[in-house]
Amino acid sequence: MAESLQQTISERLRSPPQYPQGRFDGRGIVICAGGPRYFVCAWVLISLLRNLHSVRLPIQVWHLGQSEMSEEMRLLLEALHVEVVDAETIIARFPARVAGGWPLKPYAIMQSRFREVLYLDADTVPLTDISYVFDWKVYREHGLLMWPDIVNLRPANPIWRMLGLKPRTQTSVEAGVLAVNKEYAWDVLDLALLLNEHVEEVYSAVYGDKDTFLLASLLKGGSPELVPHRPFGFDIDLVQRDLDGEPILQHRTGSKWNLDGPNRAVFSGDVMRHCEQALADLRRRWSGAVFNPPPRTVRALTEVERLVAVRDFVYAPQGSEPRPLELLPAGRLGKGKGVFEQHWAVIEREGELILQFYSPTRLSIELKCCADGSWQGSCILPVGFHVQLSEQTASQTWPFSNGRVAKSGADWVEALLDTSLFAAGFNDETARQLHAALSLLNERFDDLPEQIHARLANIAVPERWRRVLADACTKLSCSRNTRRSLALRSEYPHAFDPNHYDRIP
């Protein structure tokens, strides 16, 4: 095994990959956060960056698939001007073996759209505006800056023999924070990713991904640049320091944030108050569950679109006063949600549509559509009770009726302009494919340019991609308006005939 890994490393050192000029641009923050536990941590971290420290750098949050990040969670993060990246969609374009959260870290750093990356673990707590790290001279000169751990790698550690390196006593890296200029350190990042692709071997000797960046630098024959001050302990966590030895960041290595429960203190009391505010805000917005709806037919999805368009309903559970209930996109419930109504979905069962409500842990209520348009059913839990749901306002309809599809292109635009599309940098071929897809949709829907502008107002998009989409909107609007004019001339030819009214007796 060790010989095979050494051979793979030797081959990579002989033929290192070239940095992809033109693909990456600017500075940004990268965070990996999959699943409820780390989503809560990431929410607190990003809330501090945005609301306390006023950090305006673009932020990407990477995860592995829908099991780690639901559409609801994605929308919550996007409201904080965060780009949410499903790594599985990027891996399909830039293949690598990413076997879990730790190996995701070097992959996300490499494939993020930024040329310069400040990586932060989801469970870190910035005590100040940490983005000023990019301005440190030591970072600018070396292009890769790491922070030390409180422990060392010892000569007896098998990792040295495994990688063919001379045994030594080496300060270990605590990689909850890392700053890198990819143009300078591309080959080191590539080796770090390679080590994380061999998790079975490497992780048996070191603790996860953290020392793989250090080891990659040593394999390249470099001298790893570390902040000169070791972290110090606070409670059961570590506090990292800046170049002057001042506290800069607390890594909650021993105490993750709890959404509903007691939380250990932060090094700074003022920062702790903001953390508690962020947690309270998240409790109001999110159930704490990664909710993904069950498989749905086209008919069920169409009904979801209709119910979202209606949005406002009257919810009447037996034995309780009726209350307003909002059905929102992504299975979310707004005003009126309760213990048994935290998420919703529509499925089709034996030819019949079923409206479902979910508690944070299980399916709780099922309703069927009645002839009068209301939904009626009951709670399927032991506390069973009858439930009726009826529309509060009439459904909106699309104003065009000349045989075109009677719905907006909003859902298609939201699905197509996912932040993962822009997450790995700019690519001319992807831009051409995107324009072709939008042109096809423009033939089906009358509001596509407006929906693109609305989507761009709600998500973080790199400036180069924003220019591409703005140009596309101009062309799509011209094409749409020309088609509308031709359709109206066909439907009402007399209205476009200047002599028609002169002939009327």
428-444 residue pLDDT tens:
888 888 988 999 888 88
Chain center to CA of 385: 38
The backbone torsions φ and ψ at residue 31, rounded to the nearest 5 degrees and listed phi first, read -135, 140
Residue 353 belongs to a domain with what CATH number? 2.40.128
**Is 30 a domain residue?**
yes
148 with 218, same domain?
A: yes
- How many other β-carbons are positioned within 10 Å of the β-carbon of residue 296? 15
**Is 503 a domain residue?**
no
**Is 457 a domain residue?**
yes
Does this model's pTM top 0.75? yes
**Is 128 a domain residue?**
yes
**Is 150 a domain residue?**
yes
User: pLDDT 10s digit of each residue in the chain, 505 long?
Assistant: 567 899 999 999 999 999 999 999 999 999 999 899 999 999 999 999 999 999 999 999 999 999 999 999 999 999 999 999 999 999 999 999 999 999 999 999 999 999 999 999 999 999 999 999 999 999 999 999 999 999 999 999 999 999 999 999 999 999 999 999 999 999 999 999 999 999 999 999 999 999 999 999 999 998 899 999 999 999 999 999 999 999 999 999 999 999 998 999 999 999 999 999 999 999 999 999 999 999 999 999 999 999 999 999 999 999 889 999 999 999 999 999 999 999 999 999 999 999 999 999 999 999 999 999 999 999 998 878 999 999 985 433 333 334 444 457 887 888 888 888 889 998 888 888 898 899 988 888 878 888 898 888 888 888 888 989 988 998 888 888 777 666 655 654 554 454 544 444 4
User: Are 215 and 125 within 8 A, CB to CB?
Assistant: no
Q: Is 1 exposed, middle or buried (0-12, 13-18, 19+ CB in 10 A)?
A: exposed
As a whole number of angstroms, the distance between CA 467 and CA 184 comes to 28
As for how many domains the chain has, the answer is 3
278 with 321, same domain?
A: no
160 with 14, same domain?
A: yes
- Which among 305, 257, 256 is positioned nearest to 282, based on CA atoms? 257
Residue 75 belongs to a domain with what CATH number? 3.90.550.10
Domain containing 378 equals 298-391
270 with 201, same domain?
A: yes
474 with 377, same domain?
A: no
User: Are 47 and 17 within 8 A, CB to CB?
Assistant: no
182 with 64, same domain?
A: yes
**Is 20 a domain residue?**
yes
Here the tokens at position 101 are 């959260």
Here the tokens at position 99 are 């076997």
Cβ contacts of 208 within 8 Å, gap of 6 or more = 102
53 with 169, same domain?
A: yes
333 with 426, same domain?
A: no
- Kindly give the interhelix angle for 463-491 and 448-458, rounded to the nearest 10 degrees: 160
Domain final position from 249, 284, 319: 284
138 with 207, same domain?
A: yes
225 with 257, same domain?
A: yes
204 with 155, same domain?
A: yes
Torsion sign, CA atoms 285, 459, 71, 350: positive
**Is 289 a domain residue?**
no
Domain final position from 260, 284, 308: 284
Domain final position from 341, 356, 391: 391
**Is 365 a domain residue?**
yes
372 with 423, same domain?
A: no
Here the tokens at position 8 are 């793979």
448-451 contact pairs (CB < 8 A, 24+): 448/409, 448/413, 448/476, 448/480, 449/473, 449/476, 449/477, 449/480, 451/408, 451/409, 451/410, 451/413
